[in-house]
Amino acid sequence: MDNLLFNQLHDPNVRWVATGALLIGMAAAVVGCFAFLRRQALIGDVLAHAALPGVTMAFFLTHSRDWSVLLLGALGSTITGWAMIEFLTRRAGMREDSALAFTLSFFFALGTLHLTWIQRNVPAHSAGLDSILFGQAAAVTPDELLRLGVLAILVLLTIVVLFDRLKLVLFDRQFALCIGMPVRFYELVIALLIVLTVVIGLQLTGVILMAALLLTPAAAARLLSHRLGIIVPLAGLFGAIAGLIGAQASLMAPRMPTGPWIAVAISLIFFASLATSFLRRVKRVRSARA
Amino acid sequence: MSDTLWILAILLLTGTANALIGTLLVLRRMAMLSDAISHSVLFGLAVAYLIVGSRDPLAMFTGATVAGLFTAWLTDWLNRRGNVQHDASIGVVFTFLFALGVILVSAYAHRVHLDVEHVLYGEVAFAPFERLELGDVDLGPRAFWTLLVVALLNVGFILIGFHRLQMLTFSTTLAATAGIATGLWHYLIMTVTSLTAVASFEAVGAILVVALLVMPTNTAWLLAKSLRSMLWLAVSFAAVAVLIGYGIAAWLDAAIASAIAVTAGLLYFLVLGGRIMARWLIRQPYSHRHYRDIRDENAS
């Protein structure tokens, strides 16, 4: 069992990858809770798909594979995608689910259109660009992963500092408005946090399975508790486990995409907590009868 | 018939089938469920391949349809019995099944000629090479015949069930009070969606399926006044998007499916812009400002 993550922690490279993956997983899960409770659980899926055209455009313009450049592109197009959802639902009168599916397929099609065009018409170094689709933790240098980890810490800190305010805006918007809180500002903060975590999480899971990292830990934690103060740390824990599993997967099989392993692991956690909540409900019904 | 014509015929049939069933999905607020189904189809294909051991079209078709139905059922079950909110249950189910599908495909990739990118954005350009032969007679591409059957199935389903579906899309409660078996019709819609997704997915990939299900329908919604006109408009917009998108793809030398999806999206914004402009032109003399001026004059 030499290739277990635990046995290789003496290698500083492995340690960095593990720490980065853990932080990213945790940040994504924590931010995912807010998206989940705003009933926008699938927005992570949409925004992650929306990152694709930005990545291909950044690659096309700079011809660089440096992740920080590609991430800037991803950030730009993800914000555009978010604005498009807002526009479609608020101004164009489209229903929420249609607007999500519309934005997702529009941006993803734009990205794949550009990607196939690059691959056929700009022959040099476009190979491997499609690792963005499924994520490859091993393709990132430890240095870059560290930078992403720092971003993840920033996201986590913002949430810790603003926790009470975000909670109020989330659960009682009317009351928050009445006591004069800048509600729109905090809603924008939540949206920006979601966008930022989606972009940094792309490293781990890729475009298609980002939804799993953002949403499944929150859904699992929500089954176990009704208190936000418990749901959020619990989801963070699940996310961290998922991140570690991703790092482990990329260590064992460097050529395999990491996204699917993370998604499967986190789904198993979800089903475990589903079973727990069923058992608890059965117990409660029985004790009520007795 | 040349290859270009076959490809266009396949794409037009795909557009028709998806626009029809997409209208029902969008009206019932299930647009994201189509995204989920089109992803978990991969899992069905992989499992069917592992069981049968070959790319037998019938087995693949069955596997993928069952996977689609399973997604719809599991989502519903998590939502009702597991107390998971609706959108979250969609996300949990499809990421799980899709991830399993990707793992199965990449673990057996040396044996399956089914690569993940092909599944995601398909390549209709290769569809004419897989022929359907009956005895010695070459009947044309297989994808054409599958899609023809599925498109006819869609048309038949809507023709037969029109009044029930109309009531169901309007209000599930009303439909239930009127004695319609809402559960049965829900799963009928899901079955037709899965069949359509699987058939179009082989030819054009998962993303175009979602795009064609959602985009022409919403474009039609901007103009339609009834379910009937919405269905006609959705099919027409899908056809326009297919024709223009195919031209763009040929011109740019890029993926046909992506070009069509982008065109369908731009078409929506074009119609939206046109509608806003038309309203602005029509209402100009009677605008709020006009009334306000009259009111202010009377007041003073």
B141 bridge partner residues: B131
Task: Give the C-alpha separation, A199 to B223, whole Å.
Answer: 37
- Helix boundaries (H) for chain B: 3-27, 31-52, 57-80, 86-107, 116-121, 142-170, 172-177, 182-223, 227-252, 256-283, 288-299
Tokens standing for B281? 């032109």
Residues in A closer than 8 angstroms to B258, CB to CB, are: 109-113, 116
Measured between CB atoms, which of A112, A219, A261 is closest to B255?
Answer: A112
DSSP assignments along A192-258, one per residue: HHHHHHHHHHHHHHTTTTHHHHHHHHHHHHHHH-S-HHHHHHHHHHHHHHHHHHHHHHHHH-TTS-S
H or E, element range at B140? strand B137-141
CB contact under 8 A, A212 and B213: no
Which of A105, A194, A214 has the most B C-beta neighbours within 10 Å, making it the best mutation to test the interface with B?
A105
Q: How far apart are CA A92 and CA A70, in angstroms?
A: 31
pLDDT band at B232 (very low <50, low <70, confident <90, very high): very high
Q: What angle do CA A30, A32, A33 make, to 5 degrees?
A: 70
pLDDT recorded at residue B271: 95
Question: How far apart (Å, rounded) are the C-alpha atoms in residues A112 and A189?
Answer: 30
Partner residue facing A120 (CB), from B29, B213, B254: B254
**Taking a contact as any Cβ pair under 8 Å apart, which residues of chain B between 218 and 247 contact chain A?**
218
A131 in contact with chain B, both atoms CB, cutoff 8 A: no
Q: What is the pLDDT of residues B246-275, one digit of tens each?
A: 999 888 888 888 899 999 999 999 999 998
A275: its two tokens:
């079973």
Between B122 and A97, name the one with better pLDDT. A97
The two structure tokens encoding residue B206: 């998962």
What is the value of pTM for the model shown? 0.86
Rounded mean pLDDT of A236-250? 86
Q: Nearest CA of chain B to the CA of A47: how many Å?
A: 13
Helix (H) or strand (E) segment spanning residue A15: helix A12-37
Q: For residue B273, how far is the Cα from the chain centroid?
A: 24
Residues of B in contact with A208 (CB under 8 A): 39, 98, 120
Q: Do A261 and B258 touch (CB under 8 A)?
A: no
ipTM here: 0.86
Nearest chain A Cα distance for residue B139, angstroms: 31
Q: Which residue in A224, A225, A219 sits closest to A263, CA to CA? A: A219
Residues 185-224 of A with CB under 8 A from B: 208-209, 211-212, 215-216, 218-219, 222-223
Scan for tokens 């087995």, then name that residue.
Answer: B59
Residue count of chain B: 300
- B46 near A CB under 8 A: no
CA angle A98, A103, A106 (to 5 degrees): 120
User: What are the tens digits of pLDDT across the range A149-201?
Assistant: 888 899 999 999 998 888 888 888 889 889 988 888 888 888 889 888 888 88
Determine the average pLDDT of the residues in A33-41.
Answer: 85
Chain B residue at shortest CA distance from A222: B84
Q: How far apart are CA A180 and CA A167, in angstroms?
A: 15
Mean predicted lDDT score pLDDT of chain A? 83
